[in-house]
């Protein structure tokens, strides 16, 4: 029995590490193509990216960055991981807010333009103006919560979706206290959590939909922008299309903007279409056009949780860790320790 438990814990460590690796790999692949149209991606790079690329000097958010460089998606996810590791069961929302502000100041000093997203920025301005943190994020509908939620998926088991959803809300409502943003974040976290627990892709998608619907029920959400319904539609697309045809269908029927109801379902479409190959999934996510770094980060994190280190080539992981001076294994071990 002890040997079985040790093997399970080793598998959790591996999948947690692969989750963070996938987050960084997908983010770095999408770095040079973020904000570009699909036509611009093809003209400037490739129809489907085959490797990491440097960004062009005139890029609007990430000018002249080296191939393999991560963006705000991975950096903010690692900030959240640090906060979770430091605070344990009592998450310090105000300290987290200060850390995000400090991070943006650090990024500015580095000369980068990929700063806090619109929802996060407005929420932090609200807090600085004296607004209660519980109210500050009530206008946040974009994908900032979903892009950095992977650490919550690692520390929470899918055996208790109620707890997972509450943790998602706890760490995300500061900046994204809306049904659309929180349901998207819950879906991503639940997929990662189920994957680390050893669930199949189809089972994990079912858990993701349960988590998203739980958030939507809490908020009384309804209408065409419900993320759970759009994920279901995206999953159907992912089961029917692959490669360039998938890219066209996602662009036409789902969308790839920073709106949660577009980018989160887009990540699920790519994930499902490439269920056995996280590397290809991330390359396709980076080729969509739109918010490619975030879609790539979410796709990579979910792929890593489901397939472990087999999801990505070793050289790609090593390049991203080396380029960005990351110690993802250490972070993953710490987060898994909170899960047990």
- Rounded distance between C-alpha atoms, residue 214 and residue 161, angstroms: 9
- Check pLDDT > 70 for residue 124: yes
- Determine, yes or no, domain membership for 77: yes
pLDDT (0 to 100) of residue 4: 35
- Rounded distance between C-alpha atoms, residue 189 and residue 191, angstroms: 6
Total domains in the fold of the chain: 1
CB 31 within 8 A of CB 72: no
CATH number at residue 281: 1.10.4080.10
What would the two tokens of residue 45 be?
A: 């790079």
DSSP 275-330: TT-HHHHHHHHHHSSSSHHHHHHHHHHHHHHHHGGGGS-HHHHHHHHHHHT--HHH
Phi/psi for 173 (5° steps) reads: -65, -25
Kindly give, in sequence order, each residue whose CB lies less than 8 Å from that of residue 42, ignoring residues fewer than 6 positions away: none
**Which has the higher per-residue pLDDT, 138 or 3?**
138
- Check pLDDT > 60 for residue 9: no
- Check pLDDT > 50 for residue 7: no
What would the two tokens of residue 54 be?
A: 């440097």
Lowest mean pLDDT, pick from 112-116, 156-160, 295-299, 320-324: 112-116
pLDDT (0 to 100) of residue 128: 75
CA distances from 199 to 139, 156, 190, 205, 272 (A): 34, 14, 11, 10, 14
Quote the Cα angle for 10-13-18, to 5°.
130
What would the two tokens of residue 4 be?
A: 């079985």
pLDDT, tens only, 189-232: 999 999 999 999 999 999 999 999 999 999 987 776 799 999 99
Alpha carbon dihedral 68, 37, 283, 149, in 10-degree steps, equals 70
- Determine, yes or no, domain membership for 175: yes
Q: What region does 220 belong to: left with phi over 0, alpha with psi -120 to 50, or beta?
A: left
- Check pLDDT > 50 for residue 8: no
- Determine, yes or no, domain membership for 222: yes
Phi/psi for 142 (5° steps) reads: -85, -175
- Determine, yes or no, domain membership for 111: yes
- Determine, yes or no, domain membership for 4: no
Name the residue range of residue 105's domain: 12-339
pLDDT, tens only, 16-73: 999 999 999 999 999 999 999 999 999 999 999 999 999 999 988 888 999 999 999 9
pLDDT (0 to 100) of residue 21: 98
CB 336 within 8 A of CB 197: no
- Determine, yes or no, domain membership for 213: yes
- Rounded distance between C-alpha atoms, residue 167 and residue 173, angstroms: 10
- Determine, yes or no, domain membership for 3: no
- Determine, yes or no, domain membership for 7: no
């Amino acid at each position: 029995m002890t040997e079985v438990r040790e093997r399970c814990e080793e598998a959790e460590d591996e999948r947690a590490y692969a989750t963070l690796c996938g987050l960084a790999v997908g983010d770095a692949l999408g770095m040079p193509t973020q904000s570009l149209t699909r036509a611009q991606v093809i003209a400037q790079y490739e129809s489907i990216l085959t490797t990491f690329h440097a960004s062009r000097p005139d890029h609007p958010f990430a000018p002249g960055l080296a191939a393999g460089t991560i963006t705000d998606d991975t950096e903010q996810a690692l900030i959240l991981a640090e906060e979770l590791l430091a605070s344990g069961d009592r998450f310090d929302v105000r300290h987290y807010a200060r850390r995000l502000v400090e991070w943006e100041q650090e990024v500015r000093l580095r000369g980068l333009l990929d700063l806090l997203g619109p929802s996060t920025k407005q929420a932090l301005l609200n807090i600085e103006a004296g607004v209660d943190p519980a109210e500050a994020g009530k206008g946040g509908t974009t994908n900032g919560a979903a892009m950095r939620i992977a650490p919550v998926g690692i520390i929470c088991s899918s055996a208790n979706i109620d707890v997972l959803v509450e943790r998602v809300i706890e760490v995300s409502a500061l900046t994204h206290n809306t049904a659309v943003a929180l349901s998207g974040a819950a879906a991503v976290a639940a997929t990662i959590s189920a994957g680390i627990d050893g669930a199949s892709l189809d089972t994990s998608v079912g858990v993701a939909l349960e988590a998203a619907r739980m958030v939507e029920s809490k908020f009384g959400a309804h209408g065409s922008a419900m993320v759970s319904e759009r994920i279901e539609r995206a999953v159907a697309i992912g089961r029917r299309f692959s490669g360039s045809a998938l890219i066209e269908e996602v662009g036409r029927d789902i969308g790839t903007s920073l709106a949660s109801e577009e980018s989160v379902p887009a990540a699920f479409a790519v994930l499902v279409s490439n269920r056995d190959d996280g590397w290809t999934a991330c390359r396709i996510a980076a080729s969509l056009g739109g918010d490619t770094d975030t879609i790539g980060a979410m796709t990579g994190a979910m792929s890593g949780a489901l397939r472990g280190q087999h999801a990505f080539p070793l050289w790609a992981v090593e390049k991203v860790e080396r380029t960005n001076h990351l110690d993802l294994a250490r972070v993953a071990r710490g987060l898994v320790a909170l899960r047990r």
